[in-house]
Structure 1
Amino acid sequence: MPKDLIEQDTMDPDTRVPFLRKPTAEDGAEIWNLVRKCGPLDENSMYCNLIQADHFRDTCVVAQLNGHIVGWISGHMIPGASAFFVWQVAVSQEARGLGLGRKMLAHLVARKECRDATHLKTTITKSNEASWALFRSFARSIGGELTDEPHFERELHFDGAAATEHMVTITLPRSVTHLRAAA
């Protein structure tokens, strides 16, 4: 993976290049507002985003531009598995077109907290074209293989109230593992 895909927590937060960092509890409300503006994302409670930013900060990232949060990814290591699960990706309108989603994903998988991950996993509905494009682009950029299969099904899991979510799995090549030592 090219080094320019890995953003460190040392960039100037007041430039046109988003500054990537671990979230803090104080970011919870701003993260919640960002997610609300990024439909079709599911809106969790503000408290949920606060807990993610506080308790799961090591496996989440915010992108800051001119003092405002313009990007967010929540994720966690799956207990008992060597996989990093991405729950939600949000990029504000003003930060779209910068490749920010892919940069945040690369930043996360390079963190020491994700060093045991051999796969990245996420769920996506078939109709969410933006998410499919992001994860396909990310897989190509790291040389990983992307597969998917139905996971949370409309009738079985959602009582018919939501579309089937496909579990997307991306292999994290050995080259990504080597980058973790430097992160």
Structure 2
Amino acid sequence: MPEGLKLDTPRIEDGAAIWRIARDSGTLDLNSSYSYLLWCRDFAATSVVARGADSEPVGFITGYVRPQQPRTLLVWQVAVDAAARGRGLAAAMLDGLTARVAEEAGVDRVETTVTPDNVASNRLFTSYAQRHDAAAEKEVLFDGEVFPEAGHEPEVLYRIGPVAALTEAQAAPGR
């Protein structure tokens, strides 16, 4: 974890900051501000924020456990504020979140979608799989043509797992 930052569960009052970070990322599809407030209420247990020294969010990951695959965490969005980039924060948030959700919900697999032009996210999930010695499969989930707006890149589905470290977290004493 980068010095001076800490991981935490998002709270409703973090929704506005998370929306701003997503908006300013320049790569994410921006959802309504209302959706980020709901995310902080309904999916806080499967999401994470990184807080700076002032306790304000400087990064976040939103995710949820797939209803038909309860051992799979779907990572929806990952973003880091420009001032906090380049310190490994996204990887630290992903490691922390998946470890927590593995312990609390029995997850041992991770899925996400990434557009081919999102170099940072492609690196993040490829390195996550390598770091955890997990298989990573990729296939197009949604072709660009299915999106209502013209020119949308395809969304490539990453399936990562099983992740041994997550399985070990579930088997740890006290679980």
TM-score by length of 1: 0.85
- Answer whether contact 1:59 1:113 (CA < 8 A) is retained: no
CA displacement, residues 107-156 of structure 1 (integer Å, 9 cap, x when unaligned) = 111113342x231000011111111011111111111121100111112x
The residue number in structure 2 matching 1:34 is: 21
Query: In structure 2, what is the Cα distance between the partners aligned to 1:92 and 1:160?
Result: 27
The residue number in structure 1 matching 2:61 is: 73
Counting aligned pairs with the same residue, the percent is 37
Query: In structure 1, what is the Cα distance between the partners aligned to 2:61 and 2:15?
Result: 12
The residue number in structure 1 matching 2:83 is: 94
- Answer whether contact 1:153 1:165 (CA < 8 A) is retained: yes
Pick aligned residue for 2:47 from 50, 60, 63? 60
The residue number in structure 1 matching 2:138 is: 148
Paired amino acid for 1:107: G
- Answer whether contact 2:59 2:79 (CA < 8 A) is retained: yes
The residue number in structure 2 matching 1:20 is: 7
Paired amino acid for 1:51: L
Q: For residues 65-144 of structure 1, what are the structure 2 equivalents within 5 Å?
A: 65-67=52-54, 68-81=56-69, 82-111=71-100, 112-115=103-106, 117-144=107-134
- Answer whether contact 1:59 1:108 (CA < 8 A) is retained: yes
Query: In structure 1, what is the Cα distance between the partners aligned to 2:80 and 2:162?
Result: 23
Paired amino acid for 2:47: C
Offset, 1:76: 0.2
Give me the CA root mean square deviation: 1.8
Query: In structure 2, what is the Cα distance between the partners aligned to 1:172 and 1:38?
Result: 30
Query: In structure 1, what is the Cα distance between the partners aligned to 2:112 and 2:133?
Result: 17
Query: In structure 1, what is the Cα distance between the partners aligned to 2:133 and 2:33?
Result: 36
Kindly report structure 1 stretches of 4+ aligned residues shifted beyond 4 Å: none
Paired amino acid for 1:17: G
- Answer whether contact 1:76 1:85 (CA < 8 A) is retained: yes
- Answer whether contact 2:111 2:159 (CA < 8 A) is retained: yes
Offset, 1:159: 4.2
SS at match of 2:75: strand
TM-score by length of 2: 0.89
Unaligned runs of 5+ in 2: none
- Answer whether contact 2:132 2:164 (CA < 8 A) is retained: no
Pick aligned residue for 2:154 from 158, 161, 164? 164
Unaligned runs of 5+ in 1: 1-6, 8-14
Offset, 1:160: 5.9
